[in-house]
Amino acid sequence: MKMLSSKQQQILSFMRRFREGKDYPPTVRDILRGCGISSTSVVDYNLKILEREGYIRRDREVSRGIEMLDKTQRRMVRVPLIGYIAAGEPVPVPTSDTWEAEPLDTVDVSSELVRGKEKVYALKVKGTSMIDALINDGDIVLMQQANTAENGEMVAAWLKKDGETTLKKLYRERNRIRLQPANVQMKPIYADPKNVEVQGKVIGVIRQLSTS
Amino acid sequence: MKMLSSKQQQILSFMRRFREGKDYPPTVRDILRGCGISSTSVVDYNLKILEREGYIRRDREVSRGIEMLDKTQRRMVRVPLIGYIAAGEPVPVPTSDTWEAEPLDTVDVSSELVRGKEKVYALKVKGTSMIDALINDGDIVLMQQANTAENGEMVAAWLKKDGETTLKKLYRERNRIRLQPANVQMKPIYADPKNVEVQGKVIGVIRQLSTS
DNA sequence: GTCTCAGTAGAACAAGAGTTCGAAATTATC
DNA sequence: GATAATTTCGAACTCTTGTTCTACTGAGAC
């Protein structure tokens, strides 16, 4: 990986600036003008080097086919916010149209959090009943649609007999299910498998502190 | 604001799909092929309507000069991750070069969370000592640089005498400071103002559940 | 019917834009 | 200084792409 010449750095920095204002990448001739270069072949020459060195990717024969590979833009995922989660009622479960129709509200999340998972949705926490899962009133819980879960995964579990939703780590034991709170100071509860209904997996939590 | 025809909706949805893969907007002829339309003038005709109705913005005479307005605001903020936060030691405080030099690691956060605040940085939580602030081992804490705080704001406080860092809501009372845990079940602690050093405000928490 | 009106077709035009090439200029290497 | 490598130049070429124009369809209104 060689050093970049000052012209190449200038081109990269111009492309970054260009994308601040526009929604599309610059053309070769945009770069020419923006960097005070006097020939398109010079731009092309340097773009080829930038591509070889891994700074950009080019789609040949495509206008504005320059993609900046470095930092500039990691992706963001738009997750539908489909309802509230509270102790006394089952959590809203996404339906087929959740993924198709335009959702009522959405939450933007960095793709690292979602890690390419499918069928991810968000719920807003209502009340402080999830305190033992280290989740507060107003937090956003990122969920993945699921009816079952592996040992150790955090799930939203509906305890039928108790009529209660709880967020716990799930472990299957001989003939019972152990639900372990996230708070290590608290003790697990045990339940009959028939009494536990997995409503989704918890994959993340987002909390915004109010500035009040 | 008129209803969109099915062709117009199809075009919008195609453009969204196109941007998933590419880093640049489609051309008129890309849309033509992608939507099975047989004339560029039909595409142009519908794009004009989409522009008039406020769904897109077009740069005339510019290739791929189509900007989608609804999706535009999914901006993301890159926050420097400058260290760890643990009970037994003061939190790392950002220095001037934190904002200038390329940070060691970064966290991408939706701009809603940062809400335009300046001097925001991130810390990773080490250990379970922040449990009473509803913060677990491995969580990411979003901080704003500050030496003081308003009543009710959540701060990272360094208790000098105890040699301990804690995350609490801060309230100034007559001649003492009340530090209120986020967990409503827990009682506040009281401290001498001289003993409390505000190291930053907590503006958010991000937790990623490991898939174990 | 015929008159509109929204939408479609197809072609053609002109400017936009990526690519190529040989030669010149500059810089590095010995 | 001679030689080689890198970079720049200018122009030409060709395909891409936005735009425009006229003709056409098909449905509804009068």
Adjacent-strand bridge partners of A208: B204
Checking if the pLDDT of B99 tops 80, the result is no
Least confident of A69-78, B72-81, B125-134: A69-78
What φ, ψ does residue A180 adopt, rounded to 5°? -105, 120
- A150-191 per-position pLDDT tens digit: 888 888 888 888 888 888 888 888 888 888 887 767 788 888
Instruction: Check pLDDT > 70 for residue B3.
Output: no
The candidate with the shortest Cα–Cα distance to A177, out of A199, A201, A152, is A152
Q: What are the C-alpha distances in Å from A23 to residues A14, B56, B74?
A: 14, 11, 12
Strands A120-125 and A76-85: parallel
Residue B137: which pLDDT band, with cuts at 50, 70 and 90?
confident
* Structure-token pair, residue A50: 């930038």
Dist. CA A181–CA A159, nearest whole Å: 15
Is B5 considered catalytic here? no
d(CA A100, CA A79): 12
For residues B171 and B135, give the distance between their C-alpha atoms in angstroms, rounded to a whole number.
20
Is residue B62 within 8 A of residue B121, CB to CB? The reply is: no
> For residues B37-74, b (16+ Cβ closer than 10 Å) or e, as one string?
beeeebbeebbebbeeeebbeeeeeeebbbbbeeeeee
A3 φ, ψ (degrees, to nearest 5): -65, 150
Q: How confident is the model at residue B72 (pLDDT cuts 50, 70, 90)?
A: very low
pLDDT, residue A29, reads 92
Query: In terms of CA atoms, which chain A residue is nearest residue B30?
Result: A62
**pLDDT surpasses 80 at A92:** no
Cβ–Cβ under 8 Å, residues A166 and A205: no
Confidence band for B96, pLDDT divided at 50, 70 and 90: low
Q: Give the model's pLDDT for residue B87.
A: 67
Residue with CA nearest C1' of nucleotide D18: B61
Say which nucleotide is closest to residue B66, CA to C1' distance.
Answer: D18
Residue A106 has pLDDT above 90, yes or no: no
Per the DSSP assignment, residues forming a β-bridge with A68 are A56
What's the rounded Cα separation, in Å, for the pair B153 and A212? 7
Q: How confident is the model at residue B103 (pLDDT cuts 50, 70, 90)?
A: low
Nearest to B125 by CA among B141, B113, B112, B109: B141
Q: How far is the CA of A63 from the C1' of D14 (A)?
A: 14
Query: Confidence class of residue B25 from pLDDT cuts 50, 70 and 90?
Result: very high
Interface of B with A in 15-34 (CB under 8 A): 22-25, 27
pLDDT for the residue numbered B29: 92
Whose structure tokens read 């003038």? Answer: B41
Q: Fill in the amino acid letter for B173.
A: E
Catalytic position from the list B38, B39, B63, B129: B129
Among the listed ranges A82-86, A95-99, B54-58, which one has the minimum average pLDDT value?
Answer: A95-99
Per the structure block, which two tokens stand in for B171? Answer: 């309230």
Please check whether strand C approaches the CB of B45 to within 7 Å.
yes
Contacts of A153 (CB under 8 A, 6+ apart): A169, A170, A201, B209, B211, B212
